[in-house]
Amino acid sequence: MEKRRYAVRLAYEGGAFRGFQRQPGMTTVQGCLEAAFTHIGVQVRLEPAARTDAGVHAIDQVVTFTARAALEPAALRAAINTHTPPALLCLDAARVPPAFHARASARSRTYVYLVGWPAPAELAGYAWSLPDARAFPDLLVQRVDLARAADALARIPGEHDFGGFARPGEQTARRREDARATVRTVLRAEVVPAVGAPLAAFVLEGHGFLRAMIRNVVGAVVAAAVGVTSPERVSAILGAPGERYRGVRAPGWGLTLARVAYAEPLFTG
């Protein structure tokens, strides 16, 4: 029987989930999505473009899967939305070529991290608000110097070994057998200030990212921007990929997966 390939585009509010990947006894995006497929009588193996961490939001997550059933995209989207919680929304669905894979076929992923000093009240749960006594206990008033932030971020684009910004685990352990296991290419890293508000967006686009890499990069950049460290600290961490990151990690709720780019558009909506 013919197997068919499908892709769905998702948006979700990260605060409602313990990340994308299924975890026993916890509410995850994967778990909720798999439960929705069970309700419509389809057993699938989900392939996400990115495995977002707990608290991280998405407005353009792409997931592919194979199914024997002939699924009409509009009906598939509606069925998923019927059986998922309000914090998880299927925006689009499409039939895709047999070789297409949400992760492997992606040209780039773009993440946006919001930081405010303090962030507007309506962005609670979506932006890192300073001052933050947990991250910077000795600073009572924290203002983000965007020139220092831009200086720090300018050191990130290009191909680097980002092992020093990664969360210790399976990815960093691979460096024992493969020296390039933690090498990644970042295409863009910039800070975009808001107009009329003490708020900025840190935008990072790359082929792929290590676990916690973006949150650690933002933490190091903000530490430089508030004067705790210098922009040169980012270069020092890049220069020591085998050392564990010991700086500030930005909280998950400020981060959003904003775009996954492919060679050709997947969805018509």
Contact 132, 22 (CB under 8 A): no
Q: CA 269 to CA 267: how far, in whole Å?
A: 6
The pLDDT assigned to 170 comes to 80
The answer to whether the beta carbons of residues 199 and 115 sit under 8 Å apart is: yes
The pLDDT assigned to 19 comes to: 95
231 versus 1: which is more confidently predicted? 231
Both tokens of residue 91? Answer: 């925006």
- Give the chain's mean pLDDT: 94
122 DSSP 8-state letter? G
Amino acid at 246: R
pLDDT beyond 90 at 138 = no
Confidence (pLDDT) at 179? 83
Tell me the CB-side half-sphere exposure of residue 76, using CA atoms within 13 A.
22
pLDDT category of residue 269 using cuts at 50, 70 and 90: low
pLDDT band, very low/low/confident/very high, at 1 (cuts 50, 70, 90)? low
> Which residue type does 207 have?
H
User: Is pLDDT at 22 greater than 80 in this prediction?
Assistant: yes
Catalytic residue among 53, 60, 92, 161: 53
Q: What is the pLDDT of residues 93-104, one digit of tens each?
A: 999 999 999 999
Residue pLDDT, tens place only, 47-81? 999 999 999 999 999 999 999 888 999 999 999 99
pTM listed for this prediction? 0.95
Contacts of residue 170, Cβ cutoff 8 Å, sequence gap at least 6: none
The count of other CB atoms within 10 Å of the CB of residue 74 is 11
53 is catalytic: yes
**237 touches 40 (CB < 8 A):** no
